[in-house]
Amino acid sequence: MKAAVARGGAPVLVEKPDPAPGAEAVVRVLLAGICGTDLEIARGYLDHRGVLGHEFVGVVETAPDPAWAGARVVGEINVPCGVCPTCASGLPRHCPTRTVLGIAGRDGAFAERLALPLANLHHVPAGVGDEAAVFTEPLAAAHEILDQVEIDPGSRVLVVGDGRLGQLCARVLDRAGARPVVWGKHPEKVALLERLGYRTLVGDAPPGGRFDVVVEASGSPGGLERALAAVRPRGTIVLKSTYHGRAPLSLTAIVVDEVTVVGSRCGSFAPALAHLAAEPALTADLVSERYPLSEIASAFARASDSDALKVLLAP
């Protein structure tokens, strides 16, 4: 099968053997999405040498349970051992020996086929199209905020970042009743949010007033400093960004203002799929372009453009 791996800081198309039928389901990939983490891995983040990609929708070709054959599915990306103390304590996404689809120790979704345990797969509701379903993983990551931080309609919430994840975080927080302000840098992305009725800010000047909760989803090293400039004393910053390299940061403001910083990564798929089923057009305006897998280099170049949101690959 054709698959994309990172070589020398860029994605390269290679030929690899198909996943072998066996203990895991083999899924034919219909669509895959390029996210900021994929771009950073191509630059050297986490030193992943296998097939890239972790956002996908596909069809099960073979599975240990034949009832799954032909099912249209999405898949949770963390594959834990299931027996260690971390797994036993109810934190399988933090298993120290886990593999992670397209990120750590497991070939990913930028391929014609992938393999995942049945426990990781979720049926896609009939009313959710492929271009919406491919957003399940990042939408689940946005919903994770609601599991980690108390958000109510009276919360003053700011999202730092107007890109792929920032847009989803704003929509999830809005659905929870806390209509956020979004602080971005790209006028065309901010305009998309304004058309949906969000209050937005553009540029480097910090917003007036301070916020109870600030979600940092800029994907840039300077995002946390921007968040610190906007959070109130004893407020909370939810840190979503991942990137290759280090971020220079003074911790003084965190200590002096007694700010809580919450790292936030993957989320459960069930709330995300329910959200997509309730709002099938939720992500329709977030697809920038669609490429065949054979044009992986062009797709990554487009996804790196400042005006791009979600770029999709069709194996």
Confidence category of residue 220, pLDDT binned at 50, 70, 90? confident
Across the range 17-46, mean pLDDT stands at 93
Across the range 102-116, mean pLDDT stands at 97
In terms of pLDDT, which residue wins out, 113 or 244? 113
Report all structural domains of the chain as residue ranges with CATH numbers, in order of start: 2-135+283-314 (3.90.180.10), 142-263 (3.40.50.720)
Model confidence pLDDT, tens digit, residues 6-21: 887 789 999 999 999 9
Give me the DSSP letters along the chain: -EEEEEETTEEEEEE-PPPPSSSSEEEEEEEEEE-HHHHHHHTTGGG--SB---EEEEEEEE-SSGGGTT-EEEE-SEE--SSSHHHHTT-GGG-TT-EEETTBEE--SSBSEEEE-GGGEEEPPTTS-HHHHTTHHHHHHHHHHHHHS---TT--EEEE--SHHHHHHHHHHHHTT---EEEES-HHHHHHHHHTT-EEEESSSPPSS-EEEEEE---STTHHHHHHHHEEEEEEEEE----SS------HHHHHTT-EEEE-----HHHHHHHHHH-TTTTGGGEEEEEEGGGHHHHHHHHHSTT--EEEEE-
Looking at residue 117, its pLDDT comes to: 98
